[in-house]
């Protein structure tokens, strides 16, 4: 690891690292500070410290804007969507990357074509389909819509990774009499875990923050998801900067907490050594 | 039984293949196929008062020959994507290298550097609009504080700087992700190769270009493609930060599609669908060329 | 035999009656999609109308879902073509596409129109049929800070209207005193930047020619139009607008005017009150803020210096696919009663399209309202904001040029005039 310390002069590197840390972490701290202040205070002096700290901002936001409900809905929709898309995507990726069969190219093109058309247009037709399946304005419908939108990218990432796994493992497994499914479950998935982890993380982040489909496919307040909660404060009339910041903190908090708790696992998962 | 005889374990029974692919194809057939086909169908029609009139390729012709905004959007998106993708992946690699070297506190830094990735576009957009504000935005405030007040700009309000301002924000959000993936890939590199390069007494730049990048090729290509597609389709961030202004300097293809589908006072879906089709074709061509050039044969090697 | 058949008949009849009465006792839900969730007074008002409806129609439940504007439009435009959507929804006069595509029904026979001002009804009348109920009305006004004006040593004439030259002079004086002359921001809206130039055009051209200009029948290269553009350019060059004009948001521009840093003038629709007359912590103006209203400046050789713009804002329409059209109409009628109109004026502090009885303005804002009504005396009205009338590419060009780039100092008079013609003029 200390390969290049001799080559790179320390000071500029350290300075750069510090600078970049400030640049990435700073805005977050700033929003955190603003979330504890009132709007007039902020507009008076945007960069002051939150003294006094208005902790009741958070209570206000939680109660008046029904964050509890939105949070639960988001949790249900996103977790189920991520689980489904990972399973389905991994299965398809495994098949496409490790088996040779005539329709392989075609199947891959079909599935990946889902990545290139803009969601803003697709939603109009997707809406009609969900309607016909009776899934309009349901959490299940939103979840399935999310699976459909993320499938292509998931397959893309996983397929590329699975394709790099060495053939010998699979040959050995075959010779040991593993069935196709066992090969998938016991070889591809565990060894491909870094890639799987990556897609889980990416999908979770993207879907947790998704709001175009959420706005169109859910029309009852009881079923709304979290991103719509923030939009509440960005009403076209009031510009309650303080409350927006509070809202931002609340909506970011689950992700931040998860990340803080699991970042080591996460990064270990994503960086787990590939097979040599 | 299984058709695996002649090809080692590269073959599999029809049932196995079908079982693995079926769920994905079902999802696709059920929820993506119709929208895709429908978009193609819409692109050759003109919508008027609840009826659709088949107009063949007229929409496409109009777009290509009579729509200056479309070309502006294409130019903006292309610039944004090309510069952005290279900066994105290269930046991620460099950051990963900085951490790989093993400076102190690299673990907490890794965590912090990843946080922007976790934020939604709405959050990122709002924060950066505030940072770019002319009067009280941090950037101008710092410039003034450093005595460089002459450089202060209306970053998002000036057509010359707006697109680049949005690009910086986008990079800020995604560099962390590329960094982690590159870091993972670096950790996976066999130590001996790096050690050997050491012995050869190469400078670190040469090492970077001749050893590391080639070895990371599959990872880098994946990142390039993902970043490329993400930027070609970028909508949320631009919409929140500038809405395509000022003077169309940040108008991207997807914001233009959205505006024509939802903002222009008509329910005509033909025109925006045609734009979407055109654009997808361009993306596919580009990606195909890119992967053909870069991927070469070493897919299954390691 | 007969007995059995009779028994069958009896059973069927009983069943039918039973089912019918069950259906009558069934709950009906009327769905309403609305915007403006963050204006407490408007929310309260529309929910009150809902409660009134529920009282007069037992078994009916009104469910209002609140959206932000962007979300509302996206949701509607996705739902309506699929035959879905709420029974009643919020619309604005520029959304003619709902009419041309048959998504909303004519309301002529369903609403009590005696209670709505004719001119407001006209806004929604196309081909002789009225398609939505106008609720909110507003005029474009030029607000100013009395104290600052006095400090600059200027005095407003009795007509409350400066001349072109006087106005330019005031702008220069304000700039010299380090006060932003005209506060405005186009960060999140497609219209504020065009207030000054739009109102000037209206007064210079008069009702008919201004209408022609907006409908693409008058060239922007008409010398009168060019004169107006030139005058506005002078204002811009004299530093009339704030430095962050391009990115300042509407809500922020309010704060800029009456809190920090303060500005001399603030062109805004009279819905100004929705943000200004709330507690200071929520972004409102201080109770003792010296608010004044002046007329937009008079143009030289103008056709109509007493002209003003009036417009309809929030309105409600009935979904053509609704299964409860009568009930929906009943809800709309609840919004259109004189009591509701009175309540609107007194709690939202804004004009309305609904006729009310004599309203009593008491309380802290009485003075404001008196002055607002003063400014309406003798006015000739042009109905509609440019963004209500323009469509398609013309609207897009207007938003980018007259609203943003030209007042933002990014274009010369020539460029602006040519670009506007390109987008709008159908020679």
CATH of the domain at B236: 1.10.3720.10
Instruction: Kindly report, residue by residue over B239-273, the tens digit of the pLDDT.
Output: 888 877 788 889 998 889 888 888 777 778 888 88
Residue A239: pLDDT over 70? no
What CATH number should be reported for the domain holding residue C158? 3.40.190.10
pTM over 0.90: no
**Spatial separation of the C-alpha atoms in residues B301 and B215, rounded to whole Å:** 11
Specify whether the CB–CB gap between C88 and C329 falls below 8 A: no
What average pLDDT does chain A have? 80
Instruction: Kindly report, residue by residue over B137-177, the tens digit of the pLDDT.
Output: 888 888 888 887 777 778 888 888 899 999 999 999 999 88
Domain span at residue B144? 58-295
Q: What are chain A's partners, defined as 3 or more CB pairs within 8 angstroms?
A: B, C
Task: Band the pLDDT of B296: cuts 50, 70, 90.
Answer: low
Among B39, B109, B177, whose Cβ lies nearest the Cβ of A125? Answer: B39
Res A232: pLDDT: 66
Q: How many domains does chain C have?
A: 2
Q: For residue C350, what are its two tokens?
A: 């804004």
In a domain, B41, yes or no: no
Q: Is A147 on the interface with B (CB under 8 A)?
A: yes
Contact between A120 and B198 using a beta-carbon 8 Å cutoff = no
Chain A interface, best mutation among C78, C86, C248, by max A CB count within 10 A: C78
In a domain, B84, yes or no: yes
Whether residue C66 is found in the same domain as residue C211: no
Bigger pLDDT: C19 vs A266: A266
Judging contacts by C-beta atoms under 8 Å, the chain C residues touching residue A232 are 37-38, 68
* Whole-Å CA distances, B184 to A195, A266, B171, B191, B220: 10, 11, 20, 14, 12
Res C31: pLDDT: 92
Res B171: pLDDT: 94
Specify whether the CB–CB gap between C64 and C46 falls below 8 A: yes
Among A39, A127, A228, whose Cβ lies nearest the Cβ of C82? Answer: A127
In a domain, C371, yes or no: no
Strand, helix or coil at C133?
A: strand
Instruction: Kindly report, residue by residue over A71-122, the tens digit of the pLDDT.
Output: 889 999 999 999 999 999 999 988 888 888 778 888 888 888 788 777 777 7
In a domain, C286, yes or no: yes
Domains parsed from chain A with CATH numbers: 10-58 (no CATH), 67-233 (1.10.3720.10)
Specify whether the CB–CB gap between A3 and B194 falls below 8 A: yes
Cis peptide before A264 (omega within 30 of 0): no
In a domain, C354, yes or no: no
In a domain, B35, yes or no: no
Bigger pLDDT: A68 vs C235: C235
Whether residue C176 is found in the same domain as residue C100: no
Bigger pLDDT: A144 vs A189: A144
**What is the mean pLDDT for each group of 10 consecutive residues in chain C (427 residues)?**
55 48 65 84 90 90 85 85 89 88 90 88 89 92 94 90 93 93 89 94 94 92 94 94 87 87 93 84 84 93 92 92 91 90 83 78 79 88 90 88 92 93 86
Instruction: Kindly report, residue by residue over A31-67, the tens digit of the pLDDT.
Output: 888 888 877 777 777 787 877 888 888 887 777 777 7
Q: How many domains does chain B have?
A: 1
Judging contacts by C-beta atoms under 8 Å, the chain B residues touching residue C247 are 129, 132-134, 154, 156-157
Tell me the ipTM for this assembly.
0.80
In a domain, C62, yes or no: yes
Specify whether the CB–CB gap between B173 and B93 falls below 8 A: no
- A142-172 core/surface letters (b: 16 or more CB in 10 A; e: else): bbbbbbbbbbbbbbbbbbbbbebbeeeebee
Whether residue C116 is found in the same domain as residue C186: no
In a domain, C9, yes or no: no
Chain C interface, best mutation among A128, A211, A219, A220, by max C CB count within 10 A: A219
Average pLDDT value for residue range A199-222: 85
Percentage of chain B surpassing pLDDT 90? 12
Contact between B269 and A89 using a beta-carbon 8 Å cutoff = no
Residue B10: pLDDT over 80? no
Judging contacts by C-beta atoms under 8 Å, the chain A residues touching residue C250 are 236-237, 239
Average pLDDT value for residue range B20-40: 86
Q: For residue B262, what are its two tokens?
A: 């939802």
In a domain, B181, yes or no: yes
Residues listed for chain C: 427
In a domain, C7, yes or no: no
Whether residue C341 is found in the same domain as residue C384: no
Cis peptide before B246 (omega within 30 of 0): yes
Percentage of chain A surpassing pLDDT 70? 88
**Region of poorest pLDDT, from B25-29, B67-71, B99-103, C13-17:** C13-17
Whether residue C193 is found in the same domain as residue C214: yes
Res B6: pLDDT: 38
In a domain, C19, yes or no: no
Res C360: pLDDT: 67
Pick from C326, C348, C370: which residue ends a domain?
A: C348
Res B126: pLDDT: 83
Instruction: Kindly report, residue by residue over B34-52, the tens digit of the pLDDT.
Output: 888 888 888 888 887 677 7
Instruction: Kindly report, residue by residue over B212-229, the tens digit of the pLDDT.
Output: 788 888 788 888 888 988
Specify whether the CB–CB gap between B119 and B173 falls below 8 A: yes
Domain span at residue C67? 26-134+313-348
Res A250: pLDDT: 78
**Spatial separation of the C-alpha atoms in residues C244 and B139, rounded to whole Å:** 14
CA C186, distance to chain mean position in Å, is 16
In a domain, C17, yes or no: no
Res B202: pLDDT: 54
Res C86: pLDDT: 93
**Spatial separation of the C-alpha atoms in residues B223 and B177, rounded to whole Å:** 10
Chain C interface, best mutation among B133, B263, B271, by max C CB count within 10 A: B263
């Amino acid at each position: 690891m200390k390969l290049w310390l001799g080559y790179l002069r320390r000071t500029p590197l350290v300075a750069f690292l510090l600078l970049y840390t400030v640049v990435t972490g700073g805005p977050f701290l700033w929003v955190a500070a603003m979330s504890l202040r009132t709007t007039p205070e902020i507009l008076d002096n945007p960069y002051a410290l939150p003294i006094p700290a208005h902790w009741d901002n958070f209570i206000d936001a939680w109660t008046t804007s029904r964050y509890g409900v939105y949070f639960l809905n988001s949790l249900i929709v996103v977790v189920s969507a991520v689980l489904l898309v990972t399973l389905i995507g991994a299965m398809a990726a495994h098949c496409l990357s490790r088996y040779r069969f005539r329709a392989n190219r075609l199947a891959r093109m079909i599935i990946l074509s889902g990545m290139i058309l803009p969601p803003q247009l697709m939603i109009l037709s997707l809406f009609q389909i969900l309607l016909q399946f009776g899934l309009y304005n349901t959490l299940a419908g939103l979840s399935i819509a999310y699976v459909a939108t993320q499938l292509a990218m998931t397959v893309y990432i996983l397929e590329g990774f699975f394709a790099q796994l060495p053939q010998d493992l699979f040959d050995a497994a075959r010779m040991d009499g593993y069935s196709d499914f066992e090969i998938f479950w016991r070889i591809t998935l565990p060894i491909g875990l870094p890639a799987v982890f990556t897609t889980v993380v990416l999908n979770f982040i993207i879907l947790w923050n998704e709001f175009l489909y959420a706005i169109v496919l859910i029309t009852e307040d009881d079923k709304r998801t979290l991103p719509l909660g923030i939009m509440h404060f960005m009403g076209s009339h009031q510009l309650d900067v303080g409350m927006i910041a509070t809202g931002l903190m609340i909506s970011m908090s689950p992700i931040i907490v998860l990340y803080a708790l699991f970042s080591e696992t996460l990064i270990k998962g994503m960086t787990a050594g590939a097979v040599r | 039984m299984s058709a695996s005889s002649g090809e080692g374990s590269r073959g599999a029974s029809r049932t196995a293949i079908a079982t693995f692919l079926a769920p994905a194809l079902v999802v696709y057939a059920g929820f993506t196929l119709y929208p895709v086909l429908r978009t193609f169908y819409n692109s050759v029609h003109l919508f008027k008062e609840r009826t659709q009139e088949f107009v063949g390729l007229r929409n496409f012709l109009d777009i290509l020959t009579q729509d200056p905004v479309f070309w502006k959007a294409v130019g903006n998106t292309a610039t944004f994507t090309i510069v952005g993708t290279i900066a994105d992946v290269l930046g991620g690699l460099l950051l990963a290298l900085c951490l790989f070297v093993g400076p102190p506190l690299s673990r907490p830094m890794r965590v912090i550097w990843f946080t922007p990735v976790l934020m939604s576009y709405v959050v990122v957009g709002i924060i950066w609009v505030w940072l770019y504000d002319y009067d009280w935005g941090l950037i101008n405030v710092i410039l003034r504080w450093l005595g460089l007040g002459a450089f202060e700009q209306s970053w998002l309000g000036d057509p010359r700087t707006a697109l680049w301002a949005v690009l910086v924000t986008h990079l800020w959000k995604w560099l962390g992700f590329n960094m982690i993936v590159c870091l993972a890939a670096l950790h996976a590199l066999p130590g001996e190769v790096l050690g050997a390069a050491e012995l050869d007494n190469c400078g670190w730049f040469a090492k970077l270009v001749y050893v590391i990048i080639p070895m990371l090729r599959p990872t880098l290509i994946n990142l390039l493609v993902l970043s490329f597609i993400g930027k070609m389709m970028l909508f949320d961030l631009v919409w929140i930060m500038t809405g395509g202004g000022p003077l169309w300097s940040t108008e991207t293809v997807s914001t233009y599609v959205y505006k024509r589908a939802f903002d222009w006072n008509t329910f005509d879906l033909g025109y925006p669908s045609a734009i979407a089709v055109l654009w997808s074709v361009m993306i596919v061509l580009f990606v195909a060329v890119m992967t053909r050039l870069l991927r070469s044969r070493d897919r299954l090697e390691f | 035999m007969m007995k059995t058949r009779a028994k069958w008949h009896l059973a069927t009849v009983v069943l039918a009656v039973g089912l019918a009465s069950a259906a009558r006792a069934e709950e009906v839900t009327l769905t309403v999609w609305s915007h403006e969730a963050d204006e407490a007074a408007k929310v309260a008002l529309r929910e009150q109308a809902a409660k009134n409806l529920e009282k007069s129609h037992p078994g009916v439940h009104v469910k209002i879902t609140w959206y932000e504007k962007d979300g509302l439009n996206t949701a509607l435009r996705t739902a309506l073509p699929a035959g879905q959507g709420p029974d009643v929804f919020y619309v604005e006069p520029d959304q003619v596409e709902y009419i041309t595509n048959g998504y909303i029904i004519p309301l002529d026979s369903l609403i009590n129109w005696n209670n709505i001002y004719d001119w407001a009804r006209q806004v929604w009348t196309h081909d002789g049929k009225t398609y939505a109920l106008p609720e909110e009305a507003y005029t474009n006004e030029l607000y100013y800070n009395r104290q600052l004006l006095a400090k600059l040593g200027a005095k407003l004439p009795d007509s409350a209207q400066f001349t072109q030259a006087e106005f330019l002079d005031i702008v220069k004086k304000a700039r010299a005193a380090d006060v932003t002359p005209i506060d405005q921001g186009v960060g999140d809206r497609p219209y504020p930047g065009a207030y000054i130039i739009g109102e000037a055009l209206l007064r210079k051209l008069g009702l008919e020619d201004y209408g022609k200009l907006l409908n693409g029948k008058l060239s922007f290269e008409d010398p009168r139009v060019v004169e107006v553009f030139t005058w506005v350019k002078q204002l811009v060059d004299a530093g009339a607008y704030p430095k962050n004009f391009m990115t300042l948001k509407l809500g922020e521009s309010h704060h800029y005017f009456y809190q920090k840093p303060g500005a001399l003038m603030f062109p805004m629709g009279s819905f100004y009150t929705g943000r200004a007359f709330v507690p200071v912590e929520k972004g409102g103006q201080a109770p003792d803020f010296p608010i004044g209203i002046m007329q937009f400046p008079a143009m030289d050789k103008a056709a109509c210096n007493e002209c003003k713009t009036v417009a309809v804002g929030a309105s409600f329409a009935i979904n053509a696919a609704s299964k409860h059209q009568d009930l929906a109409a009943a809800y709309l009628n609840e919004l259109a009663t004189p009591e509701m109109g009175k309540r609107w004026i007194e709690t939202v502090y804004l004009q309305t399209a609904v006729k009310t009885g004599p309203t009593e303005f008491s309380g802290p804002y009485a003075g404001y309202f008196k002055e607002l009504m003063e400014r309406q005396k003798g006015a000739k009205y042009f109905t509609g904001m440019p963004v209500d009338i323009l469509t398609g590419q013309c609207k897009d060009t207007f938003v980018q040029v007259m609203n943003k780039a030209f007042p933002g100092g990014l274009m010369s008079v020539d460029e602006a005039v040519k670009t506007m013609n390109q987008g709008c003029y159908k020679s």
